[in-house]
Structure 1
Amino acid sequence: MQSSYADRFERDMGCTEDEWLRWLPAAVGEGRPWRVEGASALVEIAPGSLQLRWQVMPPRVIALMRMPVLRVGFVFEGLDAVQRFAFMKRFDLYMQRGGG
């Protein structure tokens, strides 16, 4: 997890679009208003919002391993650094994948 989050950033997620859409409801939080339209979602985070846009990228290939890549853009509006951090702390915890 990062110590701060800009109001706009991109990251590559190691998941398919189907996995992303399954994980998204829990990551944004139960009862938080949000909606998906195509390859984007708008999440209401009082007093502002988060616009998510994603694009399926070619898989990452390392030797015989192929890992899906989903490039996700985050655009926060109307939220200060503390509010962005609080939201992303939960979001990142829910999007973590096990390993080891």
Structure 2
Amino acid sequence: MSGGGVFEARREMGCTPEDLLRWLPEALGDLYPETSLTLDNQRLLIAEPPRIRMDGTNLKSRKIALLMIPVLELVITFDESFSAGQIESILGRFDLYTRRGGG
């Protein structure tokens, strides 16, 4: 928790900005219209005022054998209207919809 009751979560994601934009409506559900997203200083989603703010930076891709994996660092900030339980639930859903595994 930082000052004013605002909570911040960080994620390092193996996806492109386009992937993230495609996943967000399902990952956030009813909160999607209340979310702003800025990637590399470019505003891609605008909610005024946002209850959830996402700020991302594209990092250098990682290479594993012949596979190149994009890396996106994302900071998710929740306003003080959310309880700890709500934030945990929102992040749980977000992680479920955005983590991709092989198999």
Q: Does TM-score exceed 0.5, indicating one fold?
A: yes
Q: Quick one: structure 1 residues 63 and 53, their matched pair in 2 at CA, closer, same or farther if it must change by over 3 Å?
A: same
**Corresponding residue for 1:98?**
101
**Corresponding residue for 1:3?**
none
**Corresponding residue for 1:63?**
65
Q: Quick one: structure 1 residues 43 and 12, their matched pair in 2 at CA, closer, same or farther if it must change by over 3 Å?
A: farther
Alignment-mate amino acid for residue 29 of structure 1: G
**Corresponding residue for 1:17?**
17
Q: Which runs of 4+ in 1 moved over 4 A?
A: 35-38, 40-44
Structure number with higher helix proportion: 2
User: Structure 2 length as normaliser, TM-score?
Assistant: 0.72
Gaps of 5+ in 1: 1-5
- CA RMSD in angstroms, aligned pairs only: 2.7
1:33, distance to aligned residue in structure 2 (A): 2.2
**Corresponding residue for 2:90?**
87
Alignment: residue pair count: 92
